[in-house]
Amino acid sequence: MSLNRYVRQLNPINNNKIRNVLQFTEAFNIPIKSDDDINSFDTKLDKSQLKSLLKYLQSLKTDDIPIAGGPAGIKVRSAQDIDTKIRDWAKENTPDIKLSFGQGSIGKGGGVKISESTQELMVAALVLNKVISKNIDEVEAVEMIDDAKKVYNKIEGATGRPDLVDQFTGNFNDLATAISSSNSILKVVKNPVKVYWTGKGWGPDIAKFNPPIGGVRDYNSSDIVVKDSSGKFYGFSLKKKAKAKDVDPTLINKPITGNVGLLKDILGSKDVEAIEKSKQLFFDYVVFKHYKKNPKKIDGKEKSKMIGQISQKQMGVYLKDRKNTFFRRVEQILTKNAEDFTKSFIELLFRTKMKGIEESGEFEFYLLTGIGRFVGGEIEVSEAENKSTPQTIAALTDIFNSKLTMTKTPGKLQAWEKGAGAAKVFFSIFSDGARIIDLEVRYKGSYTANPQFQAVATADFKRIFK
């Protein structure tokens, strides 16, 4: 079969040439907080300019670790409200360094990445120790972490990850958000007697609070569950960020297709099958174009292996090809079902059906974002954002009564469009014209796996909740 035949099968709409080059996001997990860190950093960046940037960021007290390094360059760890200020300074003073911004936990030594589960377990330990605290210094932080380690094995489920207790050490950024979360939880749960971590499953005491709902496994998204002295249970879905003004953390990060795919829970089987078919056709096209072999004569395991051996840079070119009808099919189907999809998606994001689980009076569910950071030698703790199911439903009722629409995110280019900078599909959900949620469909990790849905609430959405 010829390549042209594949092109015609995959994309009868347009046969324009592929555009080059995609820059991929690599792991940024090397802490840079001193000139010595820069001297030992394996990079082609101008190190004198990098040192100037570091000195400037330290003057702003952006973060105790101002810069995170990685194979693709650097990320500046700062609050969103001063990103423009930093960009303007860098344009004049360090013009050869391309800036990107981001937050998250990074290792203190050797570039070891801190697990997302570590902060959840730290919150659980602080709740067991009934920690309510304001800002503290490093000496107090070390003592608090040591106390948290002592109760680690008392957290139900923590023994499934014995390695993560070591990631408590020196992890002051996660401690800051954990204190914020503990402060908020202890306002709700006056006398905690037991804490469960669900990262490795729901134990027999709490399994009944996580029944399958609408075919969704783990519909109850609580990361920890706290039992009080009366026998009542409280579940907390945990997020974190450095400052209240920062962009909210991702609301969901879930495959769009496959056995646990998000679309399976929202769209009809016909539409899901159409997307799956487009996906298979696209990857057959990639195999044929890259290896000049007929994919129909290659078994599934070998085909996956071949795809996995294609470089990230080259796969990015294929994903941005106008023949990528997989991503185009996703856009077509979601926009065709925009109203139904939008409501179902929001209900899933905010777990509105938790109301049914709560009706027995034995369980309450909360969406909790801890806010804090380590800066200038101090653990800076802010008030967490904590919302119960009734609060969430009240806010969403107003949204569902509004005119809901979903379109391509303004100012963004889809992967296949001329000049696109990323191999992603962008959507935004609007309520009476106000942009409330931004969504991305993107690959994260293996290209033979299913792409991820990521969603972030906007400032307009937060105003509705207030």
The pLDDT of residue 311: 85
Per-residue pLDDT for 418 more than 60? Answer: yes
Question: Whole-angstrom Cα distance, residue 97 to residue 284?
Answer: 39
149 and 175 inside one domain: yes
Same domain? 221 vs 263 = no
Specify if 218 maps to a domain.
yes
DSSP-derived 3-state class of residue 288:
helix
Q: Are residues 316 and 407 in the same domain?
A: yes
- Could you tell me the CA-to-CA distances from 222 to 117, 120, 233, 308, 436 in Å, in that order? 12, 10, 11, 34, 23
* 21: confidence class by pLDDT, cuts 50, 70, 90: very low
Element (H, E) at 91: helix 83-93
CA distance 339 to 345: 10
pTM score:
0.72
User: 84: how many CB neighbours lie within 10 A of its CB?
Assistant: 9
d(CA 167, CA 461): 34
Tell me, yes or no, whether 311 lies in a domain. yes
Do 125 and 219 fall into the same domain? yes
Domain check: are 361 and 435 in the same one? no
Percent of the chain whose predicted confidence (pLDDT) is above 90: 39
Same domain, 330 and 302: yes
Same domain, 342 and 310: yes
Q: Which of 179, 147, 181 is nearest to 165 (CA)?
A: 147
Whether residue 22 is contained in a domain is answered as no
| Residue of higher predicted confidence among 22 and 425 | 425
pLDDT in tens, 51-95: 999 999 888 887 778 888 877 788 888 766 677 889 889 988 998
> Alpha-carbon distance 69 to 96, whole Å?
16
Is the pLDDT reported for residue 9 higher than 60?
no
Same domain assignment for residues 213 and 271:
no
Residue 14 domain-assigned (yes or no) = no
Helix (H, G, I), strand (E, B) or coil at 20: coil
Q: Which residues of 367-403 are buried (b: 16+ CB within 10 A; e: fewer)?
A: bbbbbbbbbeebbbbbebbbbbbeebbebbeebeeee
Q: Do 332 and 426 belong to one domain?
A: yes
Residues 163 and 126 in one domain: yes
Percent with pLDDT over 70 in the chain: 87
Residue 3: inside a domain: no
How many domains, in total, are found in the chain?
A: 3
pLDDT at 262 over 80: no
Instruction: State how far the Cα of 339 lies from the Cα of 436, in Å rounded to an integer.
Output: 14
Residue at 421 is within a domain = yes
Residue 392 inside a domain? The answer is no
Rounded alpha-carbon distances, angstroms, from residue 256 to 276, 320, 330, 380 = 10, 19, 9, 37
What is the torsion angle, in degrees rounded to the nearest 10, for the CA atoms of residue 147, residue 153, residue 155 and residue 157?
A: 150
197 and 177: one domain? yes
pLDDT score recorded for residue 62: 77
Cα 433–435–438 angle (5° rounding)? 145
Return the pLDDT at 27: 59
Tell me, yes or no, whether 133 and 215 share the same domain: yes
Kindly state the helix (H) or strand (E) to which residue 234 belongs, with its residue range: strand 233-241
The pLDDT of residue 82: 78
Please give the residue range of the domain that contains residue 452. Answer: 254-346+400-465
Q: Is the residue at 284 inside a domain?
A: yes
Which residues does residue 405 pair with via DSSP β-bridges, in sequence order? 430
